[in-house]
Structure 1
């Protein structure tokens, strides 16, 4: 039984490593065609929630604890904000840069542990931080620049948006895991979609009331790209839930960072982004740092 669970968890992680960068490809393609990030995320939540009701009619709506509702509500809110910032970053930045930057999520986890749990990282954890920061220099710095490391690199709008997104998603992971443990990965997935849709709908009503018709027509005109996005996001989140159900949050988040390498390759394949060799090297260094933090930090 334990071997089966391990195999399912490993399979979920491997599928997630490919599905997540693929969802970023579809998101970037839609925003390049004038789709608004907020509307893309809202439509994704809404259709995935409907798909859950069709595919899983046995979904449970009663008997869930107050702690579950609190956890999934916070997870939905944090995930929604993080996803909107992520898609906005993809709209203006390179996938081959923004994918590897997600490795900073491990550093966010360390900082949360220091201030909230008094968990001080060991030498391996510090080595992981150094690798992530050093690797990010190779990923973020442009080939025509010959300056040394500078925090000014992280003042670029797309980098700031991506870092903000990963902070929200790192915290979201902790609440989502609690919700999963108090229900099932499927139930948590459904309510993650429901609350995400409710929050984005409110946001749209406040800020985009005059644009929703145009945005709806745009998604319909690019329906195959949007369907691809729905499948990729659905697979990404469901496999994330399955992995979180069996693995510690930090361990799972570190393993997810292997998708950084796929993001760089997809950036070249779909958008012809440049300096792929240097970015692959940086992504590999950052991924190594994230795994050091999770396994040995």
Structure 2
């Protein structure tokens, strides 16, 4: 039984590692085609919620503890902000840089899981996290990241808007991961997934009503013109999130978030393949160091 759970967990982690960067590719391509990040996420949430209702009639609507509703509302709110900021960052910056930056999510998630879930990491787990952070510095050491050839116009990487948005996104999503695990433990991965989608759609729809009253119809036309890509995004987002839920149900938040960073290698390769991003060798080396940290966590953490 334990072997089966472990196998399912690591298959979920592996699937998430592969699918999540592909989800980011679709998100970036949609932003390049004039889709608004908020509308992208709202549409994704809405479609996934409808799919859940259509194909999972056994979803539970009653008998869930009050603590579940508190945590799922919190995780949906944090996830919505995190995802909207993420899509906005992806639209502005390089996928091969923004993907590896996500390594810091493991650190934030581990900190919050210590206080909220009482998950205390071991020494090897901490060493793995530090190795992941070290690798991210290699990725971010981009000597070519200037907006102009003159020193006066040089914008440090950490001050660029896409980096700020990505850091904000990972903080929100790391907190989301901690609350999400509590929601999963109080229900099931599939029930938590459905309500994550449903409340995410409700929160994002309210945001659209407030902020996009004059432009929502234009965004609807983008949805119809790019329906194939939107469907591909919804499929990859749904698989990625459901696999995340399965992984979180069976392992500590900090370690799960750390293993998810293995997708950094794929993000670098996808950035080169789909968007012709440069500095791939250096970014691969940095991402490889991060992979070493994740392996250290897996074997000894």
TM-score > 0.5, shorter chain as reference: yes
Q: Quick check: 1:231 aligned with 2:221?
A: no
1:250 equivalent in structure 2: 254
TM-score by length of 2: 0.90
- Measured after TM superposition, the shift of residue 296 of structure 1 is 5.6
**Relative to 1, partners in 2 of residues 1:145 and 1:95: Cα closer, same or farther, differing over 3 Å?**
closer
TM-score by length of 1: 0.91
Poorly superposed stretches of 4+, deviation over 4 Å:
113-130, 290-297
Q: Distance in 1 between matches of 2:283 and 2:120?
A: 30
Q: Runs of 5+ in structure 1 lacking a partner?
A: none
| Pairing partner for 1:221 from 218, 222, 225 | 225
**Relative to 1, partners in 2 of residues 1:280 and 1:37: Cα closer, same or farther, differing over 3 Å?**
same
Q: Is the 8 A contact 1:254 1:294 kept in 2?
A: no
- Measured after TM superposition, the shift of residue 131 of structure 1 is 3.1
SS in 2 for 1:57: coil
What are the residue-to-residue correspondences of 1:138-217 with 2, within 5 Å? 138-144=138-144, 152-217=156-221
| 1:64-119, Cα deviation, whole Å (9 max, x unpaired) | 00000001000100000000000000010011111111111122235446777999
Q: Is the 8 A contact 1:254 1:287 kept in 2?
A: no
SS in 1 for 2:136: helix
Q: Quick check: 1:7 aligned with 2:11?
A: no
1:287 equivalent in structure 2: 291
**Relative to 1, partners in 2 of residues 1:129 and 1:11: Cα closer, same or farther, differing over 3 Å?**
closer
- Measured after TM superposition, the shift of residue 284 of structure 1 is 1.6
Which of 260-269 and 131-140 deviates more?
Answer: 131-140
| 1:105-157, Cα deviation, whole Å (9 max, x unpaired) | 1222354467779999776566445534432232123243799xxx9431211
| 1:189-221, Cα deviation, whole Å (9 max, x unpaired) | 000001100110111111001111110111110
Q: Is the 8 A contact 2:116 2:178 kept in 1?
A: no
Q: Quick check: 1:37 aligned with 2:4?
A: no
Q: Distance in 1 between matches of 2:63 and 2:114?
A: 35
Q: Is the 8 A contact 1:27 1:87 kept in 2?
A: yes
Q: Distance in 2 between matches of 1:120 and 1:12?
A: 23
Q: Distance in 2 between matches of 1:226 and 1:246?
A: 31
Which of 51-60 and 119-128 deviates more?
Answer: 119-128
**Relative to 1, partners in 2 of residues 1:288 and 1:197: Cα closer, same or farther, differing over 3 Å?**
same
Q: Is the 8 A contact 2:248 2:256 kept in 1?
A: yes
| Pairing partner for 1:273 from 269, 274, 277 | 277
Q: Distance in 2 between matches of 1:296 and 1:238?
A: 26
C-alpha root-mean-square deviation of aligned residues, in Å? 2.5
| 1:245-277, Cα deviation, whole Å (9 max, x unpaired) | 111111211111111111111111111111111
Q: Distance in 1 between matches of 2:28 and 2:130?
A: 30
What are the residue-to-residue correspondences of 1:116-135 with 2, within 5 Å? 124=124, 127-128=127-128, 130-135=130-135
1:94 equivalent in structure 2: 94
How many aligned positions are there?
A: 294
- Measured after TM superposition, the shift of residue 20 of structure 1 is 0.5
1:85 equivalent in structure 2: 85
Q: Runs of 5+ in structure 2 lacking a partner?
A: none
